[in-house]
Chain A
Amino acid sequence: EPEVTQTPSHQVTQMGQEVILRCVPISNHLYFYWYRQILGQKVEFLVSFYNNEISEKSEIFDDQFSVERPDGSNFTLKIRSTKLEDSAMYFCASSRDDVYEQYFGPGTRLTVT
């Protein structure tokens, strides 16, 4: 069964550094999403992406964040100048349509020190 994959599974970075989190969505899906979950807290929507552009974003998704689909398979989240409070699990998800079920990847745990 197709699945969403994410790399790396765990990323440790120093405050102020840039990180890129990578996701490979399910191949015939058209909508892509990033979410984050701070330890012990609820999942929060960051951004949705469709047709090579941002479809919708939350208040959390400020200028520090950017997303890109650099080729036909990868979907990336870039965090510029990381802060301690960016430490969280970041989930990528994809779906065939914006109203269909979303398939989540296993997540990347980002630790900012």
Chain B
Amino acid sequence: KNQVEQSPQSLIILEGKNCTLQCNYTVSPFSNLRWYKQDTGRGPVSLTIMTFSENTKSNGRYTATLDADTKQSSLHITASQLSDSASYICVVTVRANTGNQFYFGTGTSLTVIP
């Protein structure tokens, strides 16, 4: 069964601190892995996309890693800001018959406090 699991479910950190969010997946055939940021009541916003051959990708203060052998990914946020408070969602793309299917994790709710 194709599944995407994220941990922790929620996280509270102080402004300026770093944090790492985890994603484990059991999907195949794997096409790529995406991290999104979703503010409450808004649509997800893409942070990174990584294919099988990529093991690190950065976007500003966000750095994603991928270990395709262990089927794990992480999202590291550096020097957190209050505006980083949001849900962070891991999405795995699976190559299906005629196109791609997308499997979403339940997200990690991050709260950055002053």
Give chain A's interface residues, CB within 8 Å of chain B: 4, 33, 35, 41-45, 48, 50, 55-56, 58, 91, 93, 98-107
Provide the bound-state CA to CA distance between A98 and B51, in Å. Answer: 13
Which A residues are in CB contact (< 8 Å) with B106? 41-42
Interface centre among A43, A45, A101, A102 (most CB of B within 10 A): A43
Among B10-18, B61-69, B95-103, the stretch that binds chain A is B95-103
- Provide 14 A-B residue pairs closer than 8 Å at the C-beta atoms, listed in order of the A residue: A4-B43, A41-B106, A42-B107, A43-B38, A43-B44, A44-B104, A45-B102, A56-B96, A56-B97, A56-B98, A56-B101, A98-B100, A101-B46, A103-B46
Provide the bound-state CA to CA distance between A50 and B107, in Å. Answer: 28
* A91 with B43: CB separation less than 8 A: yes
Provide the bound-state CA to CA distance between A54 and B109, in Å. Answer: 33
Which A residues are in CB contact (< 8 Å) with B97? 56
* B43 with A42: CB separation less than 8 A: no
Say whether chain B's binding surface is mostly helix, strand, loop, or mixed.
Answer: strand
Which A residues are in CB contact (< 8 Å) with B101? 45, 56, 58
Provide the bound-state CA to CA distance between A101 and B99, in Å. Answer: 15
Provide the bound-state CA to CA distance between A56 and B100, in Å. Answer: 6
Interface size range on B against A: 20 to 34
The A-B contact count (CB < 8 A) is 58
**Given A42-B104, A42-B106, A101-B49, A56 contacting B99 (CB threshold 8 A):** yes
- Kindly list 8 other residue pairs between chains A and B, CB separation below 8 angstroms, not including A56-B99, A106-B42: A4-B43, A35-B102, A42-B89, A43-B44, A43-B104, A45-B103, A99-B32, A99-B93
- Kindly identify, within residues 80 to 99 of chain B, every residue whose CB is under 8 Å from any CB belonging to chain A: 89, 91, 93, 96-99
Residue of B nearest to A3 (CB): B43
Provide the bound-state CA to CA distance between A43 and B87, in Å. Answer: 12
Provide the bound-state CA to CA distance between A99 and B31, in Å. Answer: 8
* B45 with A104: CB separation less than 8 A: yes
Provide the bound-state CA to CA distance between A91 and B43, in Å. Answer: 7
Residue of B nearest to A49 (CB): B99
Residue of A nearest to B46 (CB): A101
Provide the bound-state CA to CA distance between A41 and B105, in Å. Answer: 10
Provide the bound-state CA to CA distance between A48 and B100, in Å. Answer: 8
